[in-house]
Amino acid sequence: MSIVVEEIKSKLNIVDLIGEYVRLQKAGASWKACCPFHNEKTPSFSVSEDKQVWHCFGCGKGGDAFGFIMEIEGLEFREALESLAQKTGVEVPEYTKGDAAQKKERNKIWDILDLSTKFYKKQLWEGEGKKDSLKYLKERGLSEETIGEFDLGYAPKGWRNLLDFLTSRGFEKEEISKSGVLVEKKGDGGNVESYYDRFRERIVFPIKDVTGKTIGYSARVAPGGDESQAKYVNTPETEAYHKSIALYGIDKAKMDIKKEDWVLLVEGNMDVIAAWQAGIKNTIAISGTAMTPEQLNIIKRYTKNIKMFFDMDEAGQKAAKRSAEIAFEKEMNVSIVEIENGKDAADAVRDDMDNFLKAVDEASSAMEYFIEKLLSEYDKNKIEDKKKIIEELSGLVNSFSSKVEKEHWIRKISEKLDISESTLFDAFNSFQDKFQRVSREEPQIDYNRADEFLQNREDSVELQIMGFLISDDNVWKEAAKKYQKEIEDSFSNKKVVDIIIKKGKESDFNFEKLINKIEDENQKKYLRKIYFENIEKGEQFSTTEDKLKAVEVDFTEIRKRKKKNRIRELFEKMTVLAQEGGSNEEIEKVRKELLDLSEDK
Ligand SMILES: [Zn+2]
């Protein structure tokens, strides 16, 4: 298997791979970004193109291409292997029997969803949905290409269309039910008596994850369908579908979001599709009323800039405000797109595309938007209204993580309302406690303690040497040979000796192999950290020889220090001998060593 892994790695560039998920920026020989795995303000996520590895100095996670895919897509190693094999066109050997059974189990839900999407699609283009539903979508301005691109489908009238189709394909009802496309009918005892199709006579919008896999559906009443039912029915929470992290359109939009460095956030699936067709490919929708912190974490992988286009009704405005608050907490920038007479994005695109594009282009800062809106709703000359405005703005102002931004807006509000800044500060602070903050978890690793590696101050040069060596295979190999005896004899930190010499040999002086040999997570994290620091340090040297020269300087430093210590020891010994009347022989021996030490350079 390791040959396959190596082959895949040789065909991949980790910078391109990670670049599909995260905005990377060149910093010296490596690339930096805000970490996709924890909340942070300054980038501590580092990728080395040279070494094809990544590391986050904030949360300590790191690894190779496989590790990244496993972490970001939540895959098992085998799944990551398959996904990357497919990407690079490398063939993976067949499974053994046990593996196959396991994989089948895990993938069943995806297979069911994939087949269901195909089923619904066929019904729209060739089946019952062709007449009214396809016509309806076209009338709403969608082209055939767009309808196909988003895999829109139609769930026919009746209770067992999909159920029968899937069971005919060999799936058990219980399995199908796990994917959310069926409804369980329970008897008096609470046992499941039967199942039936969840979506009936509806236009079906498949919801996909970042990688483009169907995770669930949002289904709208079809024209001529039962209008007394809910307009939209969605997949319930399942193993595959989690409403709080689902983002409609993210699979198609992610690369454009990264490229454009902003995202258009709209309310409905139709809005996403219409905007996409109008050329704004970086559009997504949330499946719910307001953004969740988890959804923002996903968006933040690609950009920090959000343009929101929410309905002008009360619910839409409330959702926009709440979403902006969470975004401010995460130090993201929010602006608001406004269209006259309160159309939704889908209608706005259909009615006047140029006007829509212009409105998106001219989106105004969210804070300014909300302030102006409140000023138009209330009379700022009335004291009661003034208080209301402050209360309404408190959630937004208090959500800024950045003090600079908070102060900036307090100054603005102070001018608009004609209240002193200090009074406003106090007023907003009084709302602070009432304001439910979303807890931000920032994992902290105390690298200064350097775990068990750093035993005393003397070790620091030794650690420095270790870090430098493990960051370059050639330098490590050469130095381990050249300095083996010196390291073994004079290094005081035995863990460092073990890594450089013994573990080095065992892992062919290769860092990734070394990491695979180490079980302790803290040790791994620490080694990764110094590895990355030293890759950056190593950039100032162009050749292995230059690096070896730098290593020699460190060793000279160690020798000097040892010598100094020895001289001090000898002087102390001499003093003791003189005071306590040591033999001449003893005194001569110390004197000779001192002389020798001062003679060599
Ligand atoms: Zn991190």
Q: What number of other Cβ atoms are within 10 A of residue 268's Cβ?
A: 20
**Local confidence band at 445 (pLDDT 50, 70, 90 cut-offs):** very low
Distance (angstroms) between ligand 1 centre and the Cα of 33 equals: 10
Distance (angstroms) between ligand 1 centre and the Cα of 25 equals: 16
Does residue 1 register a pLDDT over 70? no
pLDDT score for 99: 55
Distance (angstroms) between ligand 1 centre and the Cα of 444 equals: 10
Distance (angstroms) between ligand 1 centre and the Cα of 64 equals: 15
pLDDT score for 569: 85
Does residue 30 register a pLDDT over 50? yes
Distance (angstroms) between ligand 1 centre and the Cα of 457 equals: 28
DSSP string, 421-432: HHHHHHHHHHHH
Structure confidence by residue, pLDDT tens digits, 64-73: 899 998 888 7
> Nearest-CA neighbor of 442 among 38, 36, 34?
38
**How many percent of the chain have pLDDT more than 90?**
38
**Local confidence band at 243 (pLDDT 50, 70, 90 cut-offs):** confident
Distance (angstroms) between ligand 1 centre and the Cα of 509 equals: 27
Does residue 581 register a pLDDT over 90? no
Can you tell me the mean pLDDT for 245-258?
90
**Local confidence band at 100 (pLDDT 50, 70, 90 cut-offs):** low
| Type of residue numbered 532 | F
Q: What is the pTM of this model?
A: 0.65
More confident residue, 491 or 116: 116
Kindly provide the residue ranges of all beta strands, DSSP E only, lying in 166-290, ordered along the sequence: 182-186, 192-197, 202-208, 214-221, 232-234, 247-248, 263-266, 283-286
**How many percent of the chain have pLDDT more than 70?**
92
3-state secondary structure 18-72: HHCCCCCEEECCEEEECCCCCCCCCCCEEEECCCCEEEECCCCCEECHHHHHHHH
Burial of 376: CB neighbours in 10 Å, binned 0-12, 13-18, 19+: exposed
**Local confidence band at 438 (pLDDT 50, 70, 90 cut-offs):** very low
Does residue 97 register a pLDDT over 50? no
**Local confidence band at 371 (pLDDT 50, 70, 90 cut-offs):** very high
Q: Report the alpha-carbon distance of residue 389 to residue 374 in Å, rounded.
A: 6
| Type of residue numbered 48 | S
Spans of all domains in the chain: 2-88, 104-186+193-241, 447-559
More confident residue, 412 or 259: 412
Buried b (16+ CB within 10 A) or exposed e, 290-325: bbbbebbebbbbbbbbbbbbbbeeeebeebbbbbbb
Does residue 498 register a pLDDT over 70? yes
Distance (angstroms) between ligand 1 centre and the Cα of 467 equals: 21
Structure confidence by residue, pLDDT tens digits, 137-167: 999 899 999 999 999 999 999 999 999 999 9
Work out the mean pLDDT of the chain and round it to a whole number.
85
Does residue 304 register a pLDDT over 70? yes
Query: Is the domain defined by 2-88 classed in CATH 3.90.580.10?
Result: yes
Q: Report the alpha-carbon distance of residue 226 to residue 230 in Å, rounded.
A: 9
DSSP string, 433-493: TTS-PPPP------GGGTTTT--STTHHHHHHHHHHHHT-HHHHHHHHHHTHHHHHHH-S-
More confident residue, 334 or 581: 334
Can you tell me the mean pLDDT for 579-590?
82
Least confident of 90-94, 117-121, 232-236: 90-94
Name the 3-class secondary structure at 400. Answer: coil
pLDDT score for 449: 43
Does residue 51 register a pLDDT over 90? no
Least confident of 339-353, 359-373, 407-421: 339-353
**Local confidence band at 435 (pLDDT 50, 70, 90 cut-offs):** very low
CATH architecture of the domain with range 104-186+193-241: Alpha-Beta Complex (3.90)
Distance (angstroms) between ligand 1 centre and the Cα of 330 equals: 15
